Amino acid sequence: MKSIVIKTRMLTFLTVFFLFTSCSEDENNTEIETSEDLTAMQTKQAADTDEVSTGTFNIIETAYVEIEEQGERMTSLFPDCVTITITSENGFTFITLDFGLGCELNNGNIVSGKIHISYGPIQNGTRTINYSFEDFIFNDKGIEGGGTIFREHSNAIGNPQSTFHKNIVVTFPGGLVATVDGIRVREWVEGVGSGTWMDNVYLVTGNWTIEFSTGHSRSALVTEALRREATCHYFVSGLLEITRNETTGVLNYGDGTCDNIAILTVNGKEYIIILQY
C-alpha cells in the first residue's frame, strides 16, 4: 500500500441553494401563504437542505478534480486546516478529507469531521466514485449517509459531467431532520482547463425528494437546466418544479442576471422568494 498525506489549498464553485421569504420590518411574523400544501416555510426548509447538499457535493467533486484531473492550480478551496490523505491499493484509490474539529474554507463555509472518497480505475472514460461521511458538519448542520458519483471525463457533447446519486440525512441545529434521495447532474460547460475557477459555469439538472421529520415531504424536478456561474452566489436562470401532495409550483431563477431573487408560481399566483447565500 502506498500512502500520501497532502495539505493543500483548493477552490470550488459553490452551488448554493438557500431560499427564504422576505418580510418587512412590520411583518416579521408574517409568512406568505401559497396553498395548504405548498407554503413559503416549507420552501425555505427544503432550500436549506438543498444548500447543504449542494455545498457538500461541490467539496467532494472539487477534491476529486483537483487530485485526478486538474493540472497546475491557480486557486484553491481548502486552507491549511484541511488534511487530505490518499492511499492506493490494488488499483483502488482511497481519499480522506479531514477537517478536524472545525475548519473555515476559503469560500466562508465552516466544516468539521471527515469525508471519505474511493474509486477504482477509469473505464471507457468514466469512473464510479463512492463517498460517505464521518461526523461531518457543514455550517452547523450534520450530514450522514453517502452515495455514488458517475464521473464522465467527457459527456456526449464533450463536457465533464458528474451524476450524483444521493441518499443522505441532514440534521439541523433545532432538531429538524431531512432525508434526501435522488439524482443531481452537474455539467461543466465553461472554463474547463483554464486553471482558474472564476470563469467556470455549470448546468444542473436532476430530480430528488426530501422527507422531513415534521411529516411533510417535497419533490423537485429541474425542467430547465439551472445555470450556475462561479462568480455569482446564486443560480442565474433555470426552472425547478416543486411538488407537495397535489400542489405543484415552479421556481424561476431569472433571465441570466446575477441577483438574489427568484419567482415562485403556484396556481397562477406569483410570490417573490429572496435567496440567501
Q: What is the pLDDT of residues 47-61, one digit of tens each?
A: 778 778 878 988 898
How would you class 107 by CB atoms within 10 Å of its CB: exposed for 0-12, middle for 13-18, buried for 19 or more?
middle
Using CA atoms in the order 136, 68, 58, 124, what is the torsion angle rounded to 10 degrees?
-110
156 φ/ψ angles, rounded to the nearest 5 degrees: -60, -25
**Which pLDDT belongs to residue 2?**
38
Strands 269-275, 103-104: pairing kind = unpaired
First to last CA, the chain: 42
Domain locations in the chain as residue ranges: 2-18+40-217
Q: Are 146 and 167 in contact (CB under 8 A)?
A: yes
Q: To which H or E segment does residue 46 belong?
A: helix 40-64
Q: What is the pLDDT of residues 166-180, one digit of tens each?
A: 899 999 999 999 999
More confident residue, 228 or 24: 228
**Which pLDDT belongs to residue 260?**
81
Contacts 24+ apart (CB under 8 A), 55-59: 55/14, 55/15, 55/16, 55/109, 55/138, 55/139, 56/115, 56/136, 56/138, 56/143, 56/168, 57/164, 57/166, 57/184, 57/186, 58/12, 58/13, 58/14, 58/15, 59/12, 59/97, 59/105, 59/111, 59/115
Q: What is the pLDDT of residues 146-159, one digit of tens each?
A: 999 999 999 999 99
Query: How does 70-96 read in b/e, with b if 16+ C-beta sit within 10 Å?
Result: eeebeebbbeebbbbeeeeeeeebbbb
**Which pLDDT belongs to residue 72?**
58
More confident residue, 19 or 267: 267
